[in-house]
A and B are shown apart, each in its own frame.
Chain A
Amino acid sequence: MLDLQGYGPRLIEGAGVTVQLAVLSLLLAVALGLLTATAKMSRNWFLHRTATLYTTLIRGVPDLVLMMLLFYGGQIGVNAISDILYYDFEIDLYINFNAFAAGVLTIGFIFGAYMGETFRGAFMAVDNGQIEAGKAYGMSSGLVFRRIRFPQMMRHALPGLSNNWMVLLKTTALVSVIGLTDMVRVAAEASRATHEPFVFLIPVAVAYLLIASVSEWIFARLQKRYDIGFGEH
């Protein structure tokens, strides 16, 4: 059998970190994506430009570079703010900018840009007549969003969303580089210590495939749910 030489519990803990990180970043990315899509479709010149700049810049720079910029730069930024707070307002506050927060923020921020594109396409695919009908019923624009635009948009967004999630899941491996102990970092450390890379790295690769398969199943069920009323199923 597989001999993990005592690294088993740490690997499982690492897998927990990976999953938490991925899910939290996904939530942040979806929220940012919805905001970006709305800003991109708005007639406001400033909002439109800002959203375009955000998606262009993020998609042009490697994730790892952004992550390092935020992680190494974030601590200095936070220190600068706490310095100002201390010297000008005499508030003694030390914030440790931890790797987990940096990971969630960067991954969420990066995938927000991709989600924005996905959601924008999906929002455009919702029939305008539906929205007009909602307005004719006297619904507020918030209610139209919640009851009409969002549920119908999700049907079109789900394939892209599931794609983005798969890429996001694999991107979480990068946090091991900035010092977060996810399963990749544990496996890499164990490989170096024991000189048996395959014993640790291959199970981690399999774990990624497992998580991907489980999420594929979840997305298929969601798709079924949002496809209700559109035949075929």
Chain B
Amino acid sequence: MPDISAWFNDLLSGNLIFTPTTLGYYWTGLVTTSQLVFLSLVIGLVMAVPLAIMRSSRRKWISLPVYVYTYVFRGTPLLIQLYIIYYGVVFFDGIQESFFWPIFREAFYPALIAFTLNTAAYTTEIFRGAIKATSKGEIEAARAYGMSQGLMMRRIIIPSAFRRALPAYGNEVIFMLHASAIASVVTLMDLTGAARYVYSRFYTPFEPFLFVALIYLCLTFAILFFFRFLEKKLLAHLKPQTP
């Protein structure tokens, strides 16, 4: 270890902006951004599956509320949603006395809630499109086997819709990573927040913002390659057959 840290200090010596301290900020920022994006995507995905099934229901009273939810969350800027939740959380009666308050006082949870609700809305619509595109033959085959509605959903429609939704969902993940930059607006120290902090300390915009832009770019490419890999694995049966 002393070798590496000596090498590291050597590398950074004479550099005013990339000091171990500021690199520490970027690291904290990277951790916060990853946590926010990962957690909101996972919770959003879990929410989106039942919502998409409800949204595809033929009964109006089931599908309409979900439609209103996705319409509002997809039609307004995420920043507004974040502000409403961040500033509005204190207005829930008794929340300041409850034991949740230390959690909600931090900006992390309002941001997480806003991001989760937002990505769940987009993912619901992606899945709905995929469910709608299920070929008639698959459904007829399932019916012919005597599957119940629930079993057909579980064994036929959902798995095949998942695969069809994959490319669009990959875009949504990248979109969420980029959208998470606004967490810095509510005082969160995410990647962008770290860049803003370093900028305000040193008044040099180029180094911090270009540096985090590079990190975001790497993350984007990593997500892109991950989804390409998944598509190759899961969509192999859809590829044109070569003799």
A contacts, CB < 8 Å to B: 57, 59-66, 68-69, 72-73, 76, 166, 170-174, 176-177, 184, 187-188, 191-192, 197-198, 201-202, 204-205, 208-209, 212
Question: Which residue in A57, A59, A205 is a CB contact (below 8 Å) of B76?
Answer: A205
Interface string of B25-60 (1 = CB under 8 A from A): 000000000000000000000000000000000000
Q: Contact check: which of B83, B195, B221 meets A201 at CB < 8 Å?
A: B83
Given A69-B205, A173-B77, A62–B216 Cβ distance below 8 Å?
A: yes
B80 within 8 A of A: yes
Q: Closest B-chain residue to A177, C-beta based?
A: B185
Contact A205 B213 (CB under 8 A): no
Which among A60, A63, A170, A198 is the interface contact of B91 at CB below 8 angstroms? A198
Counting CB contacts under 8 A, is B179 at the interface? yes
10 tightest CB-CB pairs across the interface, nearest first? A173-B77, A72-B205, A197-B87, A62-B181, A62-B178, A69-B209, A64-B181, A170-B77, A60-B217, A73-B205
- Separation of A212 and B72 alpha carbons in the complex (Å): 11
Contact status A61-B213, CB under 8 Å: yes
Closest chain A CB from B94 CB (angstroms): 17
Subset of 11 A-B contacts with CB under 8 Å:
A62-B177, A64-B182, A65-B192, A65-B209, A69-B210, A73-B209, A173-B78, A188-B83, A197-B88, A198-B84, A205-B84
Where chain B touches its partner, the secondary structure class is helix
Q: How far is it, in angstroms, between the C-alpha of A187 and the C-alpha of B79 when the chains are bound?
A: 12
Residues 62-113 of B at the A interface (beta carbon under 8 Å): 71-72, 75-81, 83-84, 87-88, 91
Q: Are A60 and B77 in contact (CB-based, < 8 A)?
A: no
A contact residues around B80 at 8 Å (CB):
173, 184, 187, 201, 204-205, 208
Q: Within the complex, which residue of B76, B79, B179, B217 is in contact with A176, where a contact is CB–CB below 8 Å?
A: B79
Q: Are B213 and A69 in contact (CB under 8 A)?
A: yes
Assess the A60–B221 pair: CB atoms within 8 A: yes
Query: Is A205 a contact of B72 with CB atoms below 8 Å?
Result: yes
Q: What residues on B are CB-neighbors of A197 within 8 Å? A: 83-84, 87-88, 91
Given that A69-B209, A72-B205 are known contacts, is A170 also in contact with B76, CB under 8 Å in the complex? yes
Number of interface residues of B (CB under 8 A): 36
When chains A and B are docked, how far (Å) is the Cα of A92 from the Cα of B207?
A: 29
CA distance A184 to B71 in the complex (A): 19
Per DSSP, chain A at the interface is helix
Residue of B whose beta carbon sits closest to that of A171: B77
- Say whether B134 faces chain A, with CB atoms less than 8 Å apart: no
Q: Are B75 and A212 closer than 8 Å at their CB atoms?
A: yes
B196 at the interface (CB under 8 A from A): yes
Q: Closest chain A residue to B182 by CB distance?
A: A64
A195 to B59, CA, bound (A): 40
**How far is it, in angstroms, between the C-alpha of A4 and the C-alpha of B98 when the chains are bound?**
31
Give Cα A57–Cα B218 distance, bound, in whole angstroms: 10
**Contact between B87 and A201 (Cβ–Cβ < 8 Å)?**
yes
Once bound together, how far apart are the Cα atoms of A204 and B75, in whole Å? 12
> How distant is B214 from chain A, measured CB to nearest CB, in Å?
8
- Distance in angstroms from B167 CB to nearest chain A CB is 14
Interface 0/1 of B186-210, CB less than 8 Å to A: 0000001001100100000110011
